[in-house]
Each structure stands twice: as C-alpha cells, then as structure tokens.
Structure 1
Amino acid sequence: MIDIKPDARTREQYVRNIVDTWLDASAEQELQGRDWYPSAHRLAEQMAEGDVQIGAGLLAALSPQTAWWLNIELAREAYESGTPARHTGNCLAKAAKILAGADPAEVLPMDRKTGHFYRSILDPTDADAVCIDRHAHDIAVGVEYGAKDRGLSSKGRYALIAHCYREAAQRLGEIPSVVQAVTWVVWRDRLVGTSTRGTLFATAA
C-alpha cells in the first residue's frame, strides 16, 4: 500500500500520472467518460420513478464488489420489490434504510468511495466529489495492483488520492468526477487490450 503521507515529489507524480492518462484519451474515450455520470444520473432518475436521490443512493449502496451491469440490476430489483437482495448484509442494510426514506447522505460513508459515487450520480456537476475505486487508485499510482489490497478503506489514503484527482482536474480545467471517469475509460481499455481483465465500471475499490 502507498504511504498516506508521501513526499511532495511522489504526490506530484500521482497528479502527473492522472494528467498523462487524461491526455492519452481518444475522442471516443473522452466522450464516454464525460457522459458516464450524466448517464448514470438519468438511469437513477428513471429507475426510481423520478426520485434521483433514491436511485443514486441504491446504486451507490449496492456498488461494492459489483460490476456495473449487476449493480444496476440489483438496484432496480430493490426499488421494484422494496426488498434489497443478493448482496452482503451491510450493503443490503444501507439499501433498505434508503428505501425506507433515510437520506443516503446519512447512510453511506460520505468520505469514502460509495459516498462519492452517490454524490457524482446525484449531481454530475458536483465540483468536489470524486469516486476513488481500485482503477482510479492504480491510475494515480501508475501501477496495476491486481488483487492486492490498496488500503482505500483508510480515510487518509482515500483523501490523498482524491486530492490528487482534484489537483489534476484543476490543472485541466475540469471537475474531478469527469477526470476520474475519462481516465477510468482509458485505463479500462488498456487492461482489456492486454487481456488482464475485462471488468466494468463501479467495481469495488
């Protein structure tokens, strides 16, 4: 795992890695990344019959360790049936509270991946939210960790990578979630191209 308090040179390299990955994006990859959260927002609104807060909350609560296609399926089933299923107890409990009327911001860990994922879907123009999953981490660090633990459950480590994305976004004149989504598409395509894995967005950190 990376140091929670790296020196200035290492921190700058993380930012540079993010910027360089952004600059490697093709026009199609940039388009895909820019539309990711707006598309997820529309999906959340549609699946919860206009209540994007509930839709975004369910998607975020049920996102850990789940590929995006399954994440959508589980969230839709939970809303339609009123009973979340087919996930871990902790995630199901959060989804159940959201369905019962709790504010997702009071249920989800807002300083971690699922909280930032929720915020980015709820408001794709949020200028602070940035979802740091395992791919976002690897982009910044410049190394594919594979199945190794990245330590993103640590508040300090998550905050460090999130800060690097915000710094990269500032330099690029973008918002952090857009930089994260575009660079994620580039990274995904690289991994698929080397046949190391073909996972979809929103898998767990």
Structure 2
Amino acid sequence: MIPAKSTEEQRHNYTRAITEKWDEATPDQKRRGRDWYVTAHELAVEIAGGDAKKGAGVLAALSANKSWAENCRLARKAFTEEIASGHTRDALTKANRIMQGTDPAEVLPMHLKTGCFYLCIADPENAESVVIDRHAHDIAVRQIYGQRERGLGALRRYNVLADCYRAAARQIGEIPSKVQAVTWVAHIERSHIGAVA
C-alpha cells in the first residue's frame, strides 16, 4: 500500500500514471467517462422520485464491493420496496436512514470514497470531490492489487491519491471526477476485470 506520507516524487509518479491512463483512453471511453456521473445523477433523480440527493445517497451507501449494475439494482429495489436489502448491515442502515429523510452528509463518511461518490452523483459538476476506489488506486500505482489491502480507509492515504487526481485534472483541463471516471472506464475495459467500485 502507498505511504500515507508520500514524497513529492511519489505524488508526481501517481499523477503521471493518471494522466497517462487518460491519454490511453479512446475517444468513446472519454465520452462515456465524462458522462458517467451525469448518467448516475439522472438515475438518482429517477429512483428517488426527483430527489437527487436522496437517490445519490442511497446509491453511495449501497456501493461498497458491488458492481455498478448490482449497485443500481439494489438502490432501485430499495426505493421500490421502501427498505434496503442485499448488503451489509452497516450499508443497509445508512441507506434506510437516507430513505427516511436523514441528510446523506450526516450518514456517509464524507471525506472517503462513499461520501465522495455521493457528492459526485448528487452534483456531476462538483469541482472538488474525487472518488478513490480500488481501481482509482490501482491506476495511480500502475499495479492491479487484486484482493490485497490498499489502506484507503486511512484519510491521509486517501487524500494523497485524491490530490493526485486533482493535479492530473488541472493538467488535463477537466474536473477531477471526470478524470477519475474516464480513467476508470479505460482501466476496467483494458484490464477486463469486473467493474466493482
């Protein structure tokens, strides 16, 4: 796992890996990556009867270790049945609290993956938040970790990579969430691994 106190050289290397993955993306992957959070936002609005924040919160709460397709299925089912199911107790508790009206920002870890995922879905033009999931990590370190621990629950380690995505975004001229989504699409499709957030 990367050091929580990464050196400037390490940060430079992570940022460079991200920009190189961006450059490897096909025009179609860039188009789909740029639209990824917009499409997710539209889904959030649809499943929550027009409440983008509630829909985004439930999608984020039910996202851990699930493919995007499964994540969407669970969130849609939760709103249809008015109770979340099919996940860990912690995720279900969070999703149910959000559906009952609690602000997602009070329920989700706002400075880690799940909270950032919520923010990016709720506002696809959010210029600060960036989702660092296992794929974002693996892109930055140029290595597929598989089931090995990445340590992304540690805020300092998470922030190192989030800052590198922000730096890459500045170089590319995009917002960080779009850089993360484009590189995610390119990474998933190039390495032929299951799309799990």
Q: Do Structure 1 and Structure 2 share a fold, with TM-score over 0.5? A: yes
Question: Structure 2: which 5+ residue stretches go unaligned?
Answer: none
Q: Report the CA distance between 1:67 and its aligned residue.
A: 0.8
Q: String of CA shifts for 1:9-61, please: whole Å, max 9, x gaps.
A: 11100000001110111111101101100000001101111111111011000
> Which residue in the other structure is 2:171 paired with?
171
> Which residue in the other structure is 1:187 paired with?
187
Query: Could you say what secondary structure the match of 1:184 adopts?
Result: helix
Give runs of aligned pairs for residues 57-136 of structure 1, distance below 5 A.
57-136=57-136
Q: Distance in 1 between matches of 2:184 and 2:73?
A: 22
Q: Distance in 2 between matches of 1:160 and 1:179?
A: 16
Aligned residues: 197
Q: RMSD of the alignment, in Å?
A: 0.8
Q: Distance in 1 between matches of 2:186 and 2:73?
A: 25
TM-score where L is the length of structure 1: 0.94
Give runs of aligned pairs for residues 17-96 of structure 1, distance below 5 A.
17-96=17-96
Q: Report the CA distance between 1:100 and its aligned residue.
A: 1.0
Identity rate, percent: 50
Deviates more, 1:183-192 or 1:109-118: 183-192
Q: Report the CA distance between 1:6 and its aligned residue.
A: 1.6
| Dislocated runs of 4+, deviation >3 Å | none
Q: Distance in 1 between matches of 2:59 and 2:181?
A: 16
Q: Distance in 2 between matches of 1:25 and 1:65?
A: 24
Q: String of CA shifts for 1:114-155, please: whole Å, max 9, x gaps.
A: 000000000000000101100000111111111111000111
Query: Could you say what secondary structure the match of 2:164 adopts?
Result: helix
Question: Structure 1: which 5+ residue stretches go unaligned?
Answer: none
Q: Distance in 1 between matches of 2:108 and 2:179?
A: 23
Q: Distance in 2 between matches of 1:113 and 1:182?
A: 17
The amino acid across from 2:80 in the alignment is E
> Which residue in the other structure is 2:150 paired with?
150
